[in-house]
Structure 1
Amino acid sequence: MPDPHGFAYTERADGSVVITHHSRPATTLRGGRAAEFLAEVGDDPQEVMARWTGNYRHGNERTAKNHPRNRR
């Protein structure tokens, strides 16, 4: 069953790690990147997986949209 937050990961026998988001593959990590990810995941795996896939929000989208530099 998928995690209610959306992210899950599976470690494969070949050492690669597949990160899924809502049961769909988001990214596959191999070699050193997979080892680095597995060492980092622990306290809050949802946040770590969101960062590694690039699928996260910063919370400042509305502020940035209204900034004079971003208006056209």
Structure 2
Amino acid sequence: MRTIRRMPRPDGFSWTQRADGTVLITHRHRPAATLRGARAARFLAEVDAGDAQLVMARWTGSYRFGNERRARRHPRNAGRV
């Protein structure tokens, strides 16, 4: 029987909104992304509507923990961007 392994749940993210409307996303107290204007507003709407840790991982690009990295080096995917 084959065991299905799931990706670990993202954690360690936090965000702060500055007075000028800029949103700073940090991961384990290190800056991960800075969002301004319409992107910041869209991010805040998504955080209010869903799982904040998952939303922040997706917005910073830190959500690939599984086989995506291995698959990129596979010969079948050679030449793909």
- TM-score bucket (shorter structure): 0.7 to 0.9
Higher RCO (CA < 8 A, seq sep 6+) = 2
Q: CA offsets per residue over residues 12-63 of structure 1, 9 Å max, x none?
A: 1100100000000111100000000001113200110011001112532376
2:63 corresponds to = 56
Q: Once superposed, what is the RMSD of the aligned Cα atoms?
A: 2.4
Distance 2:36 2:46 in 1: 15
Percent of pairs with identical residues: 69
Corresponding pairs, count: 68
Give the letter aligned to residue 54 of structure 1.
G
SS across alignment from 2:31: strand
5+ residue gaps, structure 1: none
1:37 corresponds to = 43
5+ residue gaps, structure 2: 1-10
**Aligned pair in 2 of structure 1 residues 66, 56: CA closer, same or farther (>3 Å)?**
same
Normalising by structure 1, report the TM-score. 0.77
